[in-house]
Chain A
Amino acid sequence: MRQNRSNQLLKFTDKGIWCEKADVYIDPWKKVKRALITHGHSDHARTGHDSYLCTESAAPAIKYRLGKIDVQTIPFSKPIRINGVQFSFHPAGHILGSAQIRVEYKGEVWVVSGDYKLEYDGLAEEFEPIECHTFITESTFGLPVYDWRPQDEVLSAINQWWKSNAEEGKTSIITGYSLGKAQRIIRGLDRSIGEIYCHGAVENINEVCRIQGVELPDTILSTQEIPKKDYIGNIVVCPPSGINSPWLKRFGSISVAICSGWMTLRGARRRQGVDRGFVLSDHVDWKDLNRAVKETKAEQIFVTHGYSDVYSRYLNAMGINALVAKTEYTGESIDAASDQNTSAI
């Protein structure tokens, strides 16, 4: 290794990723004074910190989710100096406002990528490769079995499925994270097939996005009062937890689909017991993960959540110095229990 661990620019502590020199944490999971936040997902933006710094477009969702907090915002690419260390936020392409955080001190550059994807989804600011000495990456889908199809192809499969359900007089139920994935799905839906209804958790985020100026097609909040027959032929977008709850009883005959990178595996789909699985993820697949790592030209890679052991071994075998870093990020989950956004219904 090029440098010894004690004077690393960023350190993995039990509170989070820490820049000792500036005394700030990036996406910390325990209470800290000053937190730099890559994006608003619950494993990255947590309550309880004294102050928050995030991008302008990430702020509305973070404020909405965390309530009364002290948030400062910063435009993409604009550097800020804290105690002599220079920080800047760069698009991560994961969800609207999501950032990679670049940290520079005396010519040494580290990048914390948070969660990211390379494909432009029309919603999140397009991923920007940044050269650095040390790159910290997730590896949620860091195995060669994960290979995403282009978004258009997936969305058109979703519309086809919706259409054939509509023809059979069924209501289509589709799940995706309330923040990010849901809006990505909604934007891709073909309104000529029917109406788009949304679970409360999703609709709340839709509103946050609309206020921010994001263009979304019209959606209707799904409420108890709406009779079953109104849903027939239409589609309902809900968070992953929706399909395991009594909430589902308000619809008549349904077909249920999950949108997640995990739907690559037949086994994962069967476990969920749903009709369809669409492979649509806000994280990088294998080929883009490798591309991203390569484009940073980094000499050292830290691999956080996901298949971190396997992926770091792969990088080392490819001649890239890589280490596993222990964090509390959870990556993409299709399990209800881990979609904490729903608590904000």
Chain B
Amino acid sequence: MKHFGQLFTSLDQTNSTNAKVRSLVRYFEKVDDEDRLWAVAILSHRRPKRTVKTSQLREWAAEFANIPSWLFEESYHIVGDLAETIALVLPASTSGSEQSLSEVIALIKNLDKKEDEFKKEQIMSAWLYMTFEERFVFNKLITGGFRLGVSQKLMMRALARYENQDENKIAHRLMGKWTPDTTTYEELIRSENPLDDISKPYPFYLAYALEDEVGTLGAPSQWQIERKWDGIRGQIIIRDNHLFVWSRGEELITEKFPEYHPLAELLPNGTVIDGEILPFKDGSPLSFNLLQTRISRKNITGKVMDTAPVILMAYDLLEIEGKDIRQSSLQKRRSALEKLLVDHPTEGVIRLSRILDIDRWEQASEEREGSRLHNSEGLMLKRLDSIYQAGRKRGDWWKWKVDPLTIDAVMIYAQQGHGRRANLFTDYTFAVWDGDNLVPFAKAYSGLKDEEFTRITSWVRKNTIERFGPVRSVKPEHVFEIAFEGINRSTRHKSGVALRFPRMLRWRTDKRPEDANTLDDLKKLL
């Protein structure tokens, strides 16, 4: 734990990516294969199985720190991170941990299905002999969500440097469903044939948002233009008569989508398709909300599949007949995809994302503006001769999203932020007019500059009407332009509507509260 704790500290104390990579390389040099494999696993979001409930951790931490549990919860709200909160409230220890990372992980795994008393005793005595950093990483290992201020990409860069291998090859080796329990460091990183994991997906190629004028992209004829569908980006793999469905977040979600299961038989082995998992009924896409609700369900019942049936909107073909074709041009991959779907009809499970017929950019622009009619988020622009790259890259692929919907609303509640913005009021509730009443309809906490949050914070302090725990009602005085991606009817909300991704576009200091929009204005956007 000592080395891993130090790695955390050195990563945390710098903003320079070079310095971070250097720290990682130094760590890889210092530890053995087992610890190195675990570090790679953790930094690629493969944490050990959760063996302790976070509610128990909170309780034990409060007990250890000798504070009431509500006070622990208040602290957690301000800090915003459970592992950090626990590390902060525990009384300082006099010694550090002598155990290795793998030993500590073994300790955590060993808690599985044990008596609560045993768990408590193990965790508390582990805490006793750890420094602040070690406690923090230990708690992170238990609770998951390990970020460490270093991206998977940087970790792969450091590992590639340490192994003296190509970064893209390392990236591909690290894809898939391996865990330190199913492989060894040698096998995963150094073996000759890393592809024997038949479930292994390819790294997704992701586009940046188009910032420049679309005209700067050259002639439309060099581009493949499709709609940007609002679902979950996914990869479908058929190998050895097995089907694997991966989300962009590198989660294996095969079981969530029984609709796709026939594909194992319908498509030939050695096929990998990149597409959008899309709720779809009667020839058109449904709202993303339906998919979200479905994803959160544990069991996919017939009823769920009935309300939110999915298809795969196919974008690209990455592997055919077991051959990786990512280095061929998009044009070639697309015709291979079209041919594949003609030769192997999928009974509507897979649909081809239609290529729009565009001669001039003005047409594209019109199509983009009409995106909402198609339940789409905008357009995707992909260069016909582009290869399929790994990760988010500029140049060949762009997403050109439709402008958000906006409404002017009055701030009526404010709450202190947490984590990055613990000492500022950053979470606001907004309302629109319904006659003489202000009806709350959205909460937002992003979109303003820190300097604006600072100004609003001191205003909130002076203009609080009432306090409800951490929430304060404030004078209805400030107007904000709220942007959002979509709006749906909702019976759960007082306003009767629910917004998707609401955020503050700007603080309208030029407007007075009576200038804000009305509930009717909002409902017109439905």
Contact = CB atoms under 8 A, between A and B. Distances in A.
A314 B78 CA distance: 16
A326 interface: yes
Contacts of B72: 144
B80 interface: yes
A159 interface: no
Interface of B: 12-15, 65, 67-68, 70-72, 74-75, 78-81, 84-85, 88-89, 92, 149, 418-424, 450-451, 454-455, 458, 461-462, 464, 467, 469-470
A296 interface: no
Contacts of A274: 15
Contact of A147 (B71, B92, B462): B92
Nearest to B16: A275
Contacts of B71: 143-144, 310, 314
Contacts of B461: 305, 328, 330
Contact of B469 (A275, A309, A338): A309
B418 A267 contact: yes
A264 B88 contact: yes
Given A264-B88, A266-B84, A267-B419, A317 B79 contact: no
Interface string A42-86: 000000000000000000000000000000000000000000000
Sorted from nearest, which 8 A-B pairs have the closest CB atoms? A267-B419, A145-B88, A267-B420, A271-B420, A337-B454, A335-B454, A144-B89, A310-B74
Contacts of A275: 13-15
Contacts of A326: 464
Nearest to B84: A266
A270 interface: yes
Contacts of B424: 335
Given A310-B71, A337-B451, A268 B420 contact: yes
A95 B450 CA distance: 28
A262 interface: yes
Contact of A335 (B78, B422, B450, B462): B450
A22 to B, nearest CB: 26
A337 B455 contact: yes
A333 interface: yes
Interface string A275-288: 11000000000000
A41 B419 CA distance: 27
Contacts of A338: 454, 458
A266 B12 contact: yes
A155 B68 CA distance: 33
9 contacts: A143-B71, A144-B89, A268-B421, A270-B149, A271-B421, A314-B68, A317-B68, A335-B451, A336-B451
Given A268-B419, A335-B451, 6 more contacts: A144-B72, A147-B92, A264-B88, A307-B78, A337-B451, A337-B455
B66 to A, nearest CB: 9
